[in-house]
Amino acid sequence: MQRTPFPLASPTSLPLSLKHLRPADALREACQLTAFLREFAFRLRLEEDDPALSADAAAGLEMALNLLQDKLDIGAGRYLFPLNGPADSP
């Protein structure tokens, strides 16, 4: 079955290179890439005739993208770094 292409993001929402003008640009662009991949995976999962991802693969990809977004949010200072274990001790 031939898949019908669909738009996922505008070209301007994705970074064109690894060069950045400010340190925050890297985090912002990484967040944009994560959102792009999340939308892509979501749309692949919704294809009713021939889903490109199994339910397990889609769930695993969603978990990985959520974890990636959490790491980016920590790096951006949106919430504190969650320490667990010996590093937590004063």
Is 63 among the domain residues?
Answer: yes
56 close to 29: Cβ distance less than 8 angstroms: no
Q: Cα(19)–Cα(39) distance, rounded to whole angstroms? A: 25
Domain for residue 32, yes or no?
no
pLDDT at 73: 81
Q: How many angstroms separate the CA atoms of 20 and 2, rounded?
A: 38
- How far is it, in rounded angstroms, from Cα 30 to Cα 84? 25
How do residues 35-76 score in pLDDT, each as one tens digit?
Answer: 888 887 777 777 666 666 777 877 888 888 888 888 788 777
Tell me which residue range forms the domain holding 58.
Answer: 47-77
Fill in the amino acid letter for 67: L
Number of domains comprising the chain: 1
In a domain, 71, yes or no: yes
Q: Read off the pTM.
A: 0.54
DSSP 8-class letter at 3: P
DSSP code, position 77: T
